[in-house]
Structure 1
Amino acid sequence: MPLLDIETKNGFTYPIIYKEFFLDGMLNVGEYGPDWYTTVYPKLKENPTLLLHSYDFELLNLKGVNEAIDELSDPEGYREIKEEFKFIPFGQSGAGDHYCFFVNEENNGENPIVFVWHDMNEVNYLAKNMQDFVFRMLLTDMSDQDVYNDVSDEEFKDNLERVLKTHKKYLTDKQNDVLQTVFNREIIDYEILLPKMKEAKRGLLTDVELKKTLAEVIPFDKMDSSFEYSSES
């Protein structure tokens, strides 16, 4: 079992939910390459794998996980991550940042999910466990229709509906109820207030509603806080 190999090699135990993802085929994203989007993606779209449509999230296959672990644990790597920190990545951003289990803070078989930047000496806490992270990502997706790539209202809702179908079994009843309630809304246009400008957005809930709902449904005292992973400034 490949997950067991990773666990044995790194002295880490995956949470039960991630092992369920593996057994259910939710991690089967194939081999990435120049033709992945045209040959593999269409087959996955009907029954989406883990967070298939989430913004700036690329699920790592097991080969990619092993490579990323080696990269993050390399004492001579450009990040110069402190030896006491242990991250087990499972996804990455388009820029090469990593979504990881934070091994140091394991609690009853669960690990916080963190975002390890590649170009900043910073780690952000995203959720207290994998289940809450999936909820956070799905709710965030609902707030942000990809108008930049001209995703239509119909495609936006269709993608969300398919994702909710394949992810439902891994979430709590309350989390599913919240997602379904938001999904049933009408799409709205809204603005995010930035320090010096406003940014137009489109989705099923505003950024303010998103933050409030996350705090209510998946409370986590460290959510969105950060720490430095290297002694180098």
Structure 2
Amino acid sequence: MDTFSALADASGITLPAMLRQLIDTGRTGYGADIEVWRTDWKASTLAAQPVLSCVYDLEWIDAKQAGESIAKWLNPAFQHGRRFLPFAQTGAGDAYCLTPLANGDIGVALVWHDRGTSRIEAVSFAAFVYEALVCSAADFSHLLDDDYSPAEAVQCVAANIEALRGYLPEAMRAGLARVLADALPGPDDEAAKMISDETTQAVLALLPEVEDEAFAVVARWECGKR
């Protein structure tokens, strides 16, 4: 299947409107040729292309890659009946997925490729995006490790907040506005953060708690053998 809409229909997982809009407008992509994107990757990430470019170890995937993961690994037939719709991955191959929650809503899980269990990370895609942005503002040491200057790290986080907050519910938009308003002056290598611990705790407090328990995961290389 060559579209996320088709994958969503096949899996019975509703594609969140926010994610659908980001995909349809190309905000989760790397352009027609990822090699071209790589030639000037820093300029692209500083402009939030793709979005969540400030987040540690998150790489967007396309519908073809998502379909292959579902067929070979994240398939209900292999995963104790649990349904997944992957939309991003880590460099190690762990998958960020949409998955149904016990109450029928669609949450986000990070499914580890080499562990026996995983957990729900957020109760919605919007909550996942919001938390990812706040945590990036609270600790951008990974950007410094990738040769961003402190000022560039702040620029990257701020650009992503500006690009994404309009898609979010009002309370989350207000939380991100506070992140920008409370930004610390003169970030440096030692601080590696854009906001204080107090601000971080305050803006994350509006997120609902994740109540779903951990779930079992069958490793990729074990799928099809049982």
TM-score normalised by the shorter chain: which range applies? 0.7 to 0.9
How far does residue 114 in structure 1 lie from its aligned partner after superposition? 0.6
Is 1:131 aligned with 2:119? no
Over 3 Å counting, the alpha-carbon distance change for 1:207 and 1:44 in structure 2 is closer
Which range moves more in the overlay, 127-136 or 200-209?
Answer: 200-209
Kept in 1, the 8 Å contact 2:139–2:193? The answer is yes
- Pick closer, same or farther for the CA change 1:62–1:42 going to 2, 3 Å: farther
The equivalent of 2:207 in structure 1 is: 218
Structure 1 residues 30, 222: CA separation in 2 closer, same or farther (over 3 Å shift)? farther
Question: Structure 1 172/49 Cα, relative in aligned 2: closer, same or farther at 3 Å?
Answer: same
Unaligned runs of 5+ in 2: none
CA distance in 1, matches of 2:83, 2:15: 13
What is residue 186 of structure 1 aligned with on the other side? 184
Separation of aligned partners in 2, 1:92 and 1:165 = 23
> 2:192 aligns to what?
202
1:128-152, CA deviations, whole angstroms, 9 ceiling, x for partnerless residues? 0000100010001111123323421
Output one character per residue of 1:10-59: Cα deviation in whole Å (capped at 9) or x when no partner.
33331222222223322333467666421566456435333122111001
Number of matched pairs = 215
CA RMSD between the two structures: 3.2
The SS at the match of 2:127 is: helix
- Tell me, what secondary structure is at the counterpart of 2:165? helix
- Greater shift, 135-144 or 16-25, is seen at 16-25
Residue equivalent to 1:53: 54
Higher relative contact order (CA 8 A, sep 6+): 2
The answer for the alignment partner of 2:23 in structure 1 is 22
Distance in 1 (alpha carbons) for counterparts of 2:79 and 2:216:
9
The answer to whether the 8 A contact 2:46-2:155 is kept is no
Identity level (%): 22
Alpha carbons 1:189, 1:201 under 8 Å: kept:
yes
The residue identity in structure 1 corresponding to 2:148 is V
- Which residues of 2 match residues 2-151 of structure 1 at below 5 A? 2-30=3-31, 36-38=37-39, 42-43=43-44, 45-73=46-74, 81-103=78-100, 105=102, 107=104, 110-145=105-140, 146-151=143-148
Q: Distance in 1 between matches of 2:106 and 2:214?
A: 16
* Gaps in structure 1 of 5+ consecutive residues: 191-199
The AA in structure 2 aligned to 1:7 is: A
2: distance between equivalents of 1:122 and 1:206? 33
Q: Is the 8 A contact 2:11 2:84 kept in 1?
A: no
Query: Structure 2 length normalisation: TM-score?
Result: 0.79
> CA–CA distance in 2 between the matches of 1:117 and 1:25?
27
Which has the higher mean CA deviation after the structures are superposed, 203-212 or 92-101? 203-212
